[in-house]
């Protein structure tokens, strides 16, 4: 674990495990948080209760500066979160996928693949948002609560629904 200085606050029952954990300054990790493997957390980041951030040895998760990840959210796979992002409670950001093309083999035995997810700067994800592998959410976008993002969202968009679609542009 590498700590860049400043203040690092870690709540009760937090689990931090991995070869390449890097934390910036002024990071707050609340209770029951799990952070595993190759994860970089920027400066001035708040990670709420019961958040899980994890990836396998081939993937990497990067969280930019001045971000908030609210309680019960999960980030896994290959994910980049930009600066000044707001992630509301219960969001699932899943930057990997199970392979399942061979009907003669158990899905569990077919491994995983990862295109990755990129969330650019100044994005707000409402509560219960799900983002699937291979998606980019453009700078300054807002994703409405309970949306399922399956395709790229252009910058400065307001998008909602399942599947998520752009309903308006931010002026």
> C-alpha distances in angstroms, 151 versus 24, 66, 71, 75, 86?
31, 26, 25, 18, 20
> If you average pLDDT over residues 18-40, what whole number do you get?
93
Q: For the segment 50-90, what is each residue's pLDDT rounded down to a tens digit?
A: 999 999 888 999 999 999 999 999 999 999 999 999 999 99
pTM for the whole structure: 0.93
Specify the DSSP element, H or E, that contains 76.
strand 74-77
Annotated active-site residue in 7, 98, 151, 168: 98
The answer on pLDDT for 133 being more than 70 is: yes
- 98 in active site: yes
Do 123 and 158 meet the contact criterion of CB atoms below 8 Å apart?
no
């Amino acid at each position: 674990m590498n700590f860049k200085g400043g203040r690092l606050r870690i709540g009760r029952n937090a689990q931090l495990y991995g070869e390449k954990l890097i934390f910036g300054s002024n990071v707050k990790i609340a209770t029951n948080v799990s952070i595993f493997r190759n994860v970089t957390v920027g400066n001035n980041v708040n990670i709420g209760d019961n958040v899980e951030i994890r990836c396998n040895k081939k993937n990497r998760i990067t969280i930019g500066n001045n971000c908030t990840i609210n309680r019960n959210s999960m980030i896994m796979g290959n994910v980049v979160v930009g600066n000044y992002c707001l992630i509301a409670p219960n969001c699932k950001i899943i930057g990997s996928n199970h392979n399942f093309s061979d009907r003669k083999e158990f899905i569990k035995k077919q491994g995983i693949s990862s295109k990755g997810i990129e969330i650019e700067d100044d994005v707000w994800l409402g509560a219960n948002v799900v983002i699937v592998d291979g998606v980019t959410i453009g700078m300054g976008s807002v994703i409405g609560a309970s949306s399922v993002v399956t395709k790229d969202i252009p910058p400065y968009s307001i998008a909602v629904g399942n599947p998520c679609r752009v309903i308006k542009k931010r002026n």
